[in-house]
Amino acid sequence: MASYNLEGSAQLWYMQVQRDEGTPPWRRFSELLNLRFGPPLLTNPLGELMACKRTMSVVDFQERFEALLPRAGILSETQKVQIFTAGLQPPLSLDVEIHNPQSLAVAMSLARKLELRDQCALASAPPVRFQKKGILPAPVPHLASPAPALPAAPPHAPSLPEGRPIKRLSQTEMEERRRLGLCFNCNEKFGRGHNRVCQRIFLLDLAPDNDDDDTASATADASPADPRISLHAISGVHTSETMQMHITLGGVSLLALIDSGSTHNFIAEEAAAHATLPSPTTEKMRVMVANDERVPCQGAYRTVSFRIDQEAFSEDFLALPLAGYDVILGMQWLATLGPILWDFCALSMTFWRRGHRVC
């Protein structure tokens, strides 16, 4: 004989059942009880069981699995083990499968034990100390022949602006690398398009040449009017959003970049050597790099004539070792054009010159 005691909402529910159906037999009673207080009915209880996955602890997953298992129908012990193991998800499911449990109870116990082992191993592991890294990713190392030994620079503590490590070269090292045709930032040969190999990003500032070796003093005395060149212009970065054109200068066709981020006009030393140009001025300039390095500029070409299609212009150009472009047309040239209509979708510019429209 069996008896049961109902309270609260269960008692009120049973009183309603007695009024509707009388005292139901045990099978009908259990069916009505499951409908009222059991989980909601689904059209695919087996699919819900197979979709059950471990997201937290093994104990939580086990309780959820056992709640869904009775409604999934008749399953063999092997099927129960396989569904439970798959729901554990890797890597824990792989550890359980290696032990090949033969019953669901053994699989559940084994999963709890393996989870406890992983927790103990994690607790005993030493804390991970993350090394501070700069904003820019480290360049990918490239196999190359070793560079010749260079004179050691005087020891000094490297500065870290904006979290980036700084590499300094003495004047002797820079002259030696220039003589060997090496990049200032790596041991590869420097040439047009070298930025595709050497991915160190840098910025150059030009300042008048002087013999003062006090870098801090020279930087503080730099005038805002000194020529400056933008990053993508000096490094030769080609993208689909840069405005480029071919100009005729010194009897040769050169690739020019229109760059409002550069204050002056620049010409690559290699391009200047192939073009027919007047002799450069003897004034010496030095290029200031963002890491306080200085690279000499080989003078300036004054009043150089060039053509864009049928339009003739005359401008001054500073000679620099550019990478990727032959000529940089900066604000020095753009300021002479007056109002300009820019179309950055079509990468075109339109302005009025001498009474007619140029585009």
What is the number of helices (H) and of strands (E) in the chain? Answer: 12, 13
- Which amino acid would we find at residue 177? R
pTM: 0.39
Count of beta carbons in the 10 Å neighbourhood of residue 127? 4
The predicted structure's pLDDT at residue 83: 92
The predicted structure's pLDDT at residue 247: 92
CATH 2.40.70.10 in the chain: give the residue spans. Answer: 232-358
Do residues 257 and 331 lie in contact, with contact meaning Cβ atoms separated by under 8 Å?
Answer: no
Do residues 262 and 228 lie in contact, with contact meaning Cβ atoms separated by under 8 Å?
Answer: yes
Q: Give the distance, in angstroms, between the CA of residue 115 and the centroid of all CA atoms in the same chain.
A: 35
Tens digit of pLDDT per residue, the chain (359 long)?
667 778 888 889 888 888 888 888 888 888 888 888 776 655 678 888 888 899 889 999 989 898 888 878 888 999 999 999 999 989 989 999 999 999 999 999 999 999 999 888 888 777 766 555 555 555 665 555 565 665 555 554 444 445 555 667 777 888 888 888 887 777 777 776 666 556 554 544 444 445 445 444 544 454 555 677 776 666 666 666 788 889 999 889 998 988 888 888 888 888 888 888 888 887 777 766 555 566 677 788 889 999 988 889 999 988 888 877 889 998 888 898 889 888 888 888 888 888 888 87
- What kind of fold does domain 232-358 have according to CATH? Cathepsin D, subunit A; domain 1 (2.40.70)
Q: Give the distance, in angstroms, between the CA of residue 269 and the centroid of all CA atoms in the same chain.
A: 33
Q: Two tokens at 168?
A: 């300094």
What gap in Å lies between CA 68 and CA 73, rounded to an integer? 10
What gap in Å lies between CA 158 and CA 177, rounded to an integer? 21
Do residues 234 and 320 lie in contact, with contact meaning Cβ atoms separated by under 8 Å?
Answer: yes
Give bridge partners of residue 313 from the DSSP assignment: 306
What gap in Å lies between CA 142 and CA 346, rounded to an integer? 38
List phi, psi (to 5°) of 304: -95, 125
Q: How far apart are the first and last CA of the chain?
A: 102
Do residues 198 and 189 lie in contact, with contact meaning Cβ atoms separated by under 8 Å?
Answer: no
The predicted structure's pLDDT at residue 108: 92
List phi, psi (to 5°) of 4: -145, 155
Give the ranges where 125-242 is alpha helix by DSSP (H).
171-180, 215-221, 231-235
Q: How far is CA 197 from CA 122, 183, 187, 245, 260, in A?
A: 41, 11, 11, 25, 26
What gap in Å lies between CA 171 and CA 344, rounded to an integer? 42
Q: Give the distance, in angstroms, between the CA of residue 54 and the centroid of all CA atoms in the same chain.
A: 33
Query: Which of 257, 243, 266, 242 is closest to 321 using CA atoms?
Result: 266
The predicted structure's pLDDT at residue 165: 54
Do residues 236 and 323 lie in contact, with contact meaning Cβ atoms separated by under 8 Å?
Answer: yes
